[in-house]
Amino acid sequence: MLEEVTTKTSSQQLSKQFTSPVTPTTRLQAAYGSSGSAEIRKPIVRPPFPESVRDRSPIIGLSSNSLLRTCFRIGEVINQSCQASKSGKRIMIEMYARILASERTGTEQQFTFCDLFHARPPYIKGAYSAAIWKSVPLFEYDCSRLLQQGRICRCIGTMKREGKVWTMTVLNIWEATWEDTEWVEAIVTL
């Protein structure tokens, strides 16, 4: 009976995983409360993007000149931006990412976005120019939540290259959850 107790305690100790408190990924997990007991999520692998619509679409306002790209990985955003830049097409990016860092100045909020599934480079810098949070309490609440490290966000914007760095001009941003991400993933992978 003593051996059974010893075996149980040693196996319980082995089942706990060591989590280093100094890596960016674990800091994000700690900030967002997803360390230890959280389920490990598999990275989202989406199917190829659909072809552009023909030039004379029967849908008013839909053209082959502008494209929407929904991306769940930072590398995917950079890849799609490079391809669009080479082909001369305008794209709008809908990105799901984590906020690695965020700060606000008078009329602008600066972001550093990292991948949903890890905090390693590449990162994307973003700028949201909207002074509306000063006058509208709801926008103040929404934007202040995004000042916290580790939050998942849904971001709509356009990408531009400045030297070797890709930056996003954020047109709209709000906090998202894993349920939101899974719901959009289900739509995209139909």
Q: Which has more confidence, 9 or 53? A: 53
- Whether the full predicted model's pTM is greater than 0.85, yes or no, is no
pLDDT higher at 35 or 49:
49
Residue 88 burial (CB count, 10 A)? 7
For 186, residues 6+ apart whose C-beta sits below 8 A from its C-beta are none
Is 67 within 8 Å of 53 (Cβ atoms)? Answer: no
What does the alpha-carbon distance between residue 69 and residue 137 come to, in Å, rounded to a whole number? Answer: 31
Taking only the tens place, the pLDDT of each residue in 123-171 is 999 999 876 767 778 777 777 788 888 899 999 999 998 888 889 999 9
At 100, is the pLDDT very low, low, confident or very high (cuts 50, 70, 90)? very high
Q: Choose among 152, 175, 181, 150: nearest CA to 30.
A: 150
Alpha-carbon distance of 80 to 47, in angstroms, equals 13
Residue 147's pLDDT is: 85
With cut-offs at 50, 70 and 90, classify the pLDDT of residue 15: very low
Is the pLDDT at 22 greater than 70? The verdict is no
Position 3 pLDDT exceeds 50: no
- Can you list the pairs that 29-36 forms with residues at least 24 positions away whose Cβ atoms lie under 8 Å? 29/150, 30/150, 31/148, 31/149, 31/150, 32/98, 32/150, 32/151, 32/152
Q: What is the pLDDT of residue 123?
A: 92
When the pLDDT of each residue in the chain is averaged and rounded to a whole number, the result is: 75
Classify 66-188 by CATH class: mainly beta
Range 62-69 average pLDDT: 72
Q: What is the mean pLDDT of residues 22-38?
A: 47
109-131 pLDDT per residue, tens: 899 999 988 888 899 999 998 76
